[in-house]
Structure formats: structure tokens, C-alpha cells
A and B are shown apart, each in its own frame.
Chain A
Amino acid sequence: MSTEAHNHTADHHDDHGHHHKDTFITKYIFSIDHKMISKQYLITGLFMGIIGIAMSILFRLQLAWPDKQFTVYEIFLGKWGADGIMDPNVYLALVTIHGTIMVFFVLTAGLSGTFSNLLIPLQIGARDMASGFLNMVSYWLFFLSSVIMIMSLFVEAGPAAAGWTIYPPLSALPQAMPGSGAGMTLWLVSMAIFIASSLLGSLNYIVTVINLRTKGMSMTRLPLTIWAFFVTAIIGVVSFPVLFSAALMLIMDRSFGTSFFLSDIYIAGEVLHNQGGSPVLFEHLFWFLGHPEVYIVLLPALGITSEIIATNSRKPIFGYRAMVASILAIAFLSTIVWGHHMFVSGMNPFLGSVFTFTTLLIAIPSAVKAFNYITTLWKGNLQLNPAMLFSIGLVSTFISGGLTGIILGDSALDINVHDTYFVVAHFHLVMGISALYGLFAGVYHWFPRMFGRMMNKNLGYIHFWVTVIGAYGIFFPMHFIGMAGLPRRYYTNTAFPYFDDLANINVVITIFAIITAAVQLVFLYNFIASIFYGKKAPQNPWKSNTLEWTAPVKHIHGNWPGAIPHVYRWSYDYSKLNKAGDDYVIAGQDYVPQNIPLQDNEEEMSH
């Protein structure tokens, strides 16, 4: 009786969707359906990614051949690239906007926004986000902030150019650089809106995960993806408001004459009235977000990888509880390590000691995660789909990039490599490339779920193998030029004959960068072509256990026709044997989806 009643409500809910016929606008533009919003996030994120990567190619050209003229500068940079010579200010603008776009717009919104939206309701068995409306607002705020950020590129005096960390006074004083005028104002407005968007999104994710799990979906049965998105959202809620306050104070310093970050300044021939502020305060506020931000970017990628590696290894993820504990430990520690960006900022050296301690602690849960991934591969039956390859690639770059963190996190060693290319190499590998691999892995894996079609695997393989070689080709040599003492954010290194012997290495890096960027076009083609012409996807192409694959291929409002599936087990019962040990729990099928009740011939695990 009760089951019937339940079904009835569900049907009614489903019908409800059909009463109001979706118009084009409610379906594709102001949609409140999490699946559509996730696609919107993905496509906006990819679009921003194209801009961000294109910028990196422009400044890599400049770094490799500083004395050559490239008409491509004139095409893309206009007056800033007149006669094929790049203006030093626009070089700084390019690195600034590249950083901003990649960190916030691609890897925060594009990665976490896409997959949190897609997977949280589908994997926990919910009809939609807790608040579809807030979710829609969150996306449109993100869209607005993207538009403003792009608009800022066309400002007369040029976009923000003080580095993505926008340290004042450089970012506060238009006299210090042209980019700190209207360009910086737009940057700050864009980021303020971005933060609002991110907060609305994060609160929604948290509430949804806590309240809307289906029957049987205890926290310890959640797929690791959801754990990662959930904890990421919490870090975002804790740290993003601090960046907001920093941005607000910077706006006040810039426009209303306050002195939060400014003191004793003589610039352009006059002394400013500002007194008593401290740029170091800004650095604290910025990195209080800035460091957790690294994990906001990385944790979703690690969550996605956990899921994909387990599915494609046909094995449970090794040490599920340790993985959850690591995520929690990383999240907690990530909020108390920000000072390692500031060892030589002039803050008290004792603080430096404390931050060295907490920073190196974070290596422990990270190491545990890396070992657990490797052990998951051990004695698996690896299905090397493109998503799986990118996940393995992620583990590789996560290790390579993470290890150099031991050097940078050590205050004594940081003194000499701080702000050199060593840092650039480190964070690009550990958070940039790793998170991008997570994004690609997620797209290849959940593309059938998002668009109902399959991506071409061969193009995926080409994409992966060229990218994986190219990415190391770019960032591995950077460690050397960093240890040679080459500072980052230099428009050209020719002002120092001492660095002349690094020019060759810079050429190598740029060639790898061009090749790697070019091969992303293969991905782009595959992505777009597959949306329209890809092979129609079966319901569960990767033979996966999680709930999203129990929903029909065709998207419907409310995700499941009829009742929401109930959950009876964790999501990692891959290759689990029956009691007799002679076959899988379900004969001939090496996976048991979460909505399958415990079988008679099966031993119950603690999950």
C-alpha cells in the first residue's frame, strides 16, 4: 500500500513536469534543472578555458622569442601588439588574466560547478538540487562575472595586470600600472559576483548532500565524488567570504580613500595621504582563500578520479574510509597553511615556522591518497578508456607536482625558490594539470550521462597521449630554470645576460606548450561533434555501480520516472565474489549497482 502511494506521488511529480510545457527559454536558458545547469557550467567553463589557454600561448611565444616579431600579437592584442611587438604591460595582463580565468572560471566553476551539479542529485538519488532556483541564480551570476571579466579585456588602459593575486599597492594605484585603473575595477566587480555565485552554489550542494540522500544512502555509502564535492563546498563557504572582504576593502582603498592596505607611498612624484595600512594584511586575506582554493580546485578532480579509477579497474577503491579521512584532513589543513605563500613577505619568521609545520603535514593525507590510487590499480582488470587514462595521468602529475611541494613548503628552502619558475612548475602540475585531467576524465566519463551520446575513444586516446607528454614537457624543464634563479612574471629575460643560457629551455617549453594546446582542439572537436553525431549511449556504458546510471539516458525532469531508487550497498562492489567464491555476486556480472539489495549468496561488508 505504502509503495503504491509512493509511486503515485512520484508519478504525480513526474506529470507535474509535463503540465507546463518547457519553452526554449525555461529549458535551455533559465533552466532550474541541475542537468541543464551542469551543461551550462561546462560549456561556459570550456569557453573560458579556450581564452585562458590561448593567452598562455601568446605569452609563451614572447618568453621563447623575445626579440622576434609576431603578427599574431597584432591580431589578438591590437594596439598592445603593434608591429608584432608585445607591450610589457599587456604581457603582465595576459599572465594575470590567464591565472584568474584558469583558477576561478575554468577549474572552480567549470570543474566543480559542472560535476557537482550533475552528480550530486544523480548519485545521491535526489530529484534535483535542494533549491533549483538558487542553482539557476548561481549559474547566471557566474555567467555575468565571466562576461564582466571578458569585458575588462577591452578597457582602454588594459585589463588588470597585477598578477592573479592582485597584491596592493600595485593593484590599488592606477599610477603604478595602467592595468590598475578601470581594468582592475572590473576585475574586482567580476570576482565579487563570482564569489556570490560560488557561495550560492556551495550552500546548495551542502544542503542537498545533507538532506536529499535517498533511503539507504548513508554518508559512508556515498561515492567519493560526492564526498569530494561536499567537502569542497564547505571549504568554499569558509574561505570565499574572506576573499570577498579583501576585495571589498581593496575597492574602498581604490575608490574611497581608505587605507586598509596602503601606507607611506610616494608615487608619480607625490606622497599619498594613506597611512597605517598594510599590504601584508591583504596577503593574509587573499591566501586565506587562495590556499583553500587550491583544494577547491583539486578535491573535485580527486573525487572524480576515485570514482573513475574504481569503475575502470573493476575493483573497489582501496581504503574508502582512509580516502574520506584524507579528504577531511586535507580540507581542514588547507585552511591553516596559507602562510606558506608568505614566508618572505615580511611576516614574523615564527609564523613561518608554524606554517611550515602545518604545510608539511598536508603531505601525509596526500601521500595516503596517492598510495591508495596505486593500490586500486594493483590486480585490477583495467579498462583503459580515455577517462581512465586521464585519471592515471592525474595521479602521476599529482605525485610529481606534490613532491616539489615538500621543497616549497619548507620555509628555509622557499627563500631561494620563492616566486621563481620552480613555483610555476609546482603549482601547474599539482593543481593546474591535475585538475584539468580531472575535468577531462569527468567529461569523457560522464559525457554519455550529460548528452546521451558517446565521445570518440580514439580521438580521446590521441588527446590523452599528446597532452600527457606535452604537459610534462612544459613543466618539468621549468623546475630547472626556477632553480637557476629565474623569477616568474618577467616580460623578457634578456635584461639579465646571466640568464642567457636559459633561453634554449624556454624555447623547448614553448614548443611543448604549442603542441599541447593544439591537441586540445582534438578534444574540442570530439566534444562538439559527439554532442550531435556521437554514437547513442547505452544506459550504463562503463558498467558502473553508482545511481546516475540507473536513470534513463533521456533527461527527464526529476531524474527517475517512477520512484527514486533505494540504496542497499556502497558504490564500490566491483568484482565482489559470492560466498562460495566461484563467481561474482551476480553471476557473470562483475559489478553490483547500489540499488541492488543484498543477495543471499553474498557476505555483508561493513559498508
Chain B
Amino acid sequence: MTGFLIIAVLVLFAVAVWQMKGIFQLSQIKKGDDSQVANDKDNRFNGKLMLWFLVFFYVFLIYGFWEWTRVLLPEAASEHGKDIDLLMLISMVIIMFVLVITQFLLHYFAFKYHGKKDQKAVFFADNDKLEFIWTIIPVIVLAALIIYGLFTWTDIMNVTEDEDTLVVELYAKQFTWEARYSGEDNTLGEANVRFVEGINTIGIDASDPNSMDDVVTRELRLPVGRKVLFKMRSQDVLHSAYMPHFRAQMNTVPGMITQFAFTPTITTAEMRQNPEIIAKVENINQLRNDKNVELAARGEETLDPYEFDYLLLCNKICGASHYNMQMNIIVVSQEEFDTWMAEQTTFGETLNP
């Protein structure tokens, strides 16, 4: 695939060079004219190239959508994610519509009206009606998008906490994530970096009774169909908790608690059966196998086969290993979640084993 793409690019480049040769030839025919101001031949030639560029632009656009849509994120695995995806689709369609038309007009006009010796330009300085039309159309379209967008945004960000909400703290530090579950009382104990010491790696206040049943883990396990409210802290620099499959992101800020809530709708096991994901994983493993052949030939360690998991990535530059600050997210059924939770040691137990 890479080979093909490289060849495609090189061919395009060769075509470009070949066209350049045309320019040189043209300029050689016109020996007498060295004013360095475009003459009719230049205008005609570049006008034509404008059309060819338009073709390139559309082909590239189509190629992109044809070839690269399969690398995009699969369907949203959270409730609000579906709204975001729909809004994204609507916005995309509008954008593509406008893009295709305006680029056509721009480049087509550049071709159609390329300068000729006897051609007269039309003195057309303004037209209130036209300008009104193309002011009011964006106003209407954007108003619709703004209203839709704001409703979606408010729905996502207005977190209403009820008894069933699972409260989880996400704790960021250079360059790992930790999670803290609020335990049976569903209340996180107080915490501050000033309490960080030894096994108390995320600074839980041991004097707060609420903290005793808290559970600290290195992986994020969530029950499906239940709203999760993330309370986020950072101990050193800014990080960002980015969970692309859930269409969720929030920065973690030292000195303050930020929050984001969503309801997972698809378990990890179900997502692994999603046809898009199956195809993606197959493709990735194919690529990894190809690479393994190379690695093995050089006697280096080979790559493990890949299996899909939801991801939590750091998405705010945070230092040298920013690129590898990650945690797996595993969405399971409520029963599986409960079993798993029962196996964990609480903060109280860690302190007094």
C-alpha cells in the first residue's frame, strides 16, 4: 500500500515536472518577450493548469474519502457520541458541498477568464443584492449549526449526578494515568498532592473517612449503560484525558478538578465484533506481520499481534514521553464490573494490610 502511494505521489510529481517543461518550451518560443509580465500564452497555459488543478483537487478528495475513511474512528461507544457523530456528519456534508462549489467557481473562473489581448474586463464594482444573498445564506446556515451545536454541547456538559452515577477520578502525572473509584459510598475521599507519599501515589487524604473504600487502579474498567462521571486531577503539568472512541475529552489541570461524564453503550467484547473494527484490526495485523518479516530478518524483536481496546490517551503536550501516556479502557457488563471491583484492594486495605 505504501509502495503504491509513493508511486502515485512520484507519478504526480513527474506529471508536474513534465508540465513545467511545457512552460519552458512556451517561453522559448516567445524569445522576443522577456518583460517577465504574463503574456497571452502564459495566461492560456496557466488557465489550463487551473482546470487541471481542479481535477487534481477533486480526484484527491475522492481518493481521500475512498481510501482513508476506513482509518477513521468506528461508531461512537457512548450515548452522547451519537449526537456528536450526527452533528459532525451534517457539518461535513455542508462543508463538502460548499467546498466543491466554491473551488469549482474559483478555478473555473480563473480558467475561463484568463487574459487575452482583446478581451475586456467588465467594470462590476458592487451589487447590493448579490452581497445581501451571500451574507444571509451563511447567516442562516450558521445559525442552524450554532443552535444545534449549542444544544448538543449543553447536553454533554451539563452533568446531572444521580445515585446511579459512577464517580471515577482520573489522575494524571508524567507519564501515566491512574484511576480511583469511589467505592461503596460512591464518594471520593479528599485528596491533594501534599499527601503524596510512598504507596499513596495520588495523594488521598487518609484522614477522610470517605477515602477508605476508594480503589486505585492502573486500568479503567467501566460498566456498560451506566453514566460515569470523571473527576480529573493532575499532579504536575497539563494533560488531557482523550477517549476518542467515546467522543470524550477534558484537560487535567493541576490545582483544579475538571470533569466530564458519559455513558458507555458498547462493551469492549462487542466492539471487537464490530465489522469495522474487525477489518481495521486485520489490516493492522497485516501491517505488523509485514514489519515482523523485516524485523526478524534483522534479528530484532518482533511485534505482538494487536487486539482492539478502547484507549485513554494524553492529548496535551506534557513532556518527553507525552507520546506514550496511555491507559486501556475496558467496558464490561455490570456483573463483570462488580466481580472485578470486589477483587480490588481498597485504599484502607492498602494502608493497613
Q: Contact residues of A with B, CB < 8 Å? A: 88-89, 92, 162-163, 167-170, 173, 176-177, 262-267, 271, 276-280, 313-316, 318-322, 344-346, 349, 352-353, 356-357, 360-361, 363-364, 367-368, 370-375, 377-385, 388-389, 392, 395-396, 399-400, 403-404, 406-407, 410-413, 415-416, 418-420, 454-458, 461-462, 465-466, 468-469, 472-473, 476-477, 479-481, 483-485, 487, 489-493, 495-498, 500-505, 507-508, 511-512, 515, 534-535, 538, 541-542, 572, 574-577, 590, 605
B301 to chain A, nearest CB (A): 12
B341 in contact (CB, < 8 A) = no
Annotate B288-330 by CB proximity to A: 1 below 8 A, 0 otherwise. 1000000000000001001011010111111111111010000
**CB-based contact B253/A575 at 8 Å:** no
Bound form: Cα–Cα A502–B203 in Å: 38
Sorted nearest first, the 6 A-B pairs with minimum C-beta distance are: A263-B255, A485-B244, A349-B157, A454-B36, A346-B258, A266-B193
Taking the closest CB of chain A, its distance from the CB of B198, in whole angstroms, is 12
Cβ of B163 under 8 Å from chain A: no
B5 touches A508 (CB 8 A): yes
Q: Is B269 an interface residue (CB 8 A)?
A: no
Q: How long is the Cα–Cα vector from A477 to B65 in the complex, in angstroms? A: 10
> Smallest distance from the beta carbon of B119 to chain A beta carbons, Å?
5
> Which residues of A have CB within 8 Å of B288?
497, 500
Q: Are A169 and B254 in contact (CB under 8 A)?
A: yes
Separation of A11 and B42 alpha carbons in the complex (Å): 43
Taking CB atoms, residues of chain B closer than 8 Å to A590 are 120-121
Q: List, in ascending order, chain A residues with CB within 8 A of B124's CB.
A: 315-316, 318, 375, 378-379
Does B322 contact A461, Cβ atoms closer than 8 Å? no
Q: Is B350 at the interface (CB under 8 A from chain A)?
A: no
8 A-B pairs whose Cβ atoms sit less than 8 Å apart in the complex: A266-B203, A316-B125, A352-B157, A356-B149, A368-B138, A384-B42, A419-B242, A465-B16
Say if the beta carbon of B278 comes within 8 Å of chain A.
no
Partner of B142, one of A319, A360, A395, A535: A360
Q: B25 → chain A, closest Cβ, in Å?
A: 10
Given A313-B121, A379-B121, A469-B56, A262:B254 Cβ within 8 A = yes
Q: Given the interface contacts A264-B192, A265-B193, A505-B71, does A400 sit within 8 Å of B99 by beta carbon?
A: yes
A279-B122 contact, Cβ under 8 Å, with A162-B317, A265-B193, A480-B64: no
**A500, B288: Cα distance in complex, Å:** 8
State A279–B236 Cα separation when bound (angstroms): 11
Contact of B98 among A403, A416, A457, A493 (CB under 8 A): A403
The answer to whether B43 and A384 have CB atoms under 8 Å apart is yes
Check if B107 sits within 8 Å of A360, measured CB to CB: no
- Besides A92-B320, A375-B124, 10 other A-B contacts (C-beta < 8 A): A92-B322, A262-B255, A320-B126, A368-B134, A385-B42, A416-B247, A461-B46, A497-B303, A503-B2, A515-B13
Q: B216 CB to closest chain A CB, in angstroms?
A: 16
A170 to B158, CA, bound (A): 30
Contact residues in A for B87 (Cβ distance below 8 Å):
410, 412-413
Q: Which residue of B lies closest to A447 (CB)?
A: B36
Residue of B nearest to A272 (CB): B193
Residues of the B chain whose Cβ atoms lie less than 8 Å from the Cβ of A420: 315
Q: Is B206 located at the chain interface by the 8 A CB criterion?
A: no
Which residues of A sit under 8 angstroms from B238, Cβ to Cβ? 167, 169-170, 279
Contacts of B107 on A, CB cut-off 8 Å?
392, 396
User: A88-B323, A412-B153 given as contacts; is B115 within 8 A of A382 (CB)?
Assistant: yes
Interface of B is mostly: helix
Taking a contact as CB atoms closer than 8 A, the residue among A360, A377, A574 that contacts B146 in the complex is A360
B77 at interface (Cβ–Cβ under 8 A)? no
Q: How far is the CB of A415 from chain B (nearest CB, A)?
A: 5
Contacts of A170 in B (CB 8 A): 237-238, 317-319
Q: Chain A's nearest CB lies how many Å from the CB of B253?
A: 5
Residues of B contacting A534 with CB < 8 Å? 36
Chain B, residue nearest A468 (CB): B53
Tell whether A382 pairs with B71 under 8 Å between CB atoms, given A262-B255, A461-B42: no
Chain A proximity of B157: nearest CB distance (Å): 4
B35 within 8 Å of A by Cβ? yes
List the B residue with the shortest CB-CB distance to A530: B36
Contact, CB under 8 Å: A380 / B121: yes
- B316 lies within 8 A of A419 (CB): yes
Partner of B102, one of A345, A370, A497: A370
**Given the known A-B contacts A462-B20, A491-B323, A575-B122, are A176 and B236 also in contact in the complex, defined by CB atoms under 8 Å?**
yes
A-binding segment of B177-185, B218-226, B279-287: B279-287
The listed residue with most A CB atoms (<10 A of its CB), out of B116, B123, B134, B145, is B123
Q: Which residue of B lies closest to A500 (CB)?
A: B284
* Contacting pair B113 A374 (CB below 8 A): no
Whole-angstrom distance between the alpha carbons of A461 and B238 in the complex? 46
Contact B88 A315 (CB under 8 A): no
Q: Closest chain B residue to A387 by CB distance?
A: B38
Are A403's CB and B115's CB within 8 A? no
What's the minimum C-beta distance from B73 to chain A, rounded to whole angstroms? Answer: 5
By beta carbon, the residue of chain B nearest A444 is: B36
Closest to A420 in B: B315
| A476 in contact with B142 (CB, 8 Å) | no
By a CB distance below 8 angstroms, the chain B residues around A385 are: 37-38, 42
A418 to B314 alpha-carbon distance, docked (Å)? 12
Residues of A within 8 A of B149 (CB): 356, 360, 410-413
Question: Does B103 sit at the interface, judged by CB under 8 A?
Answer: yes
Determine whether the beta carbon of B237 is less than 8 Å from that of A176.
yes
Residues of A close to B316: CB separation below 8 A: 167, 419
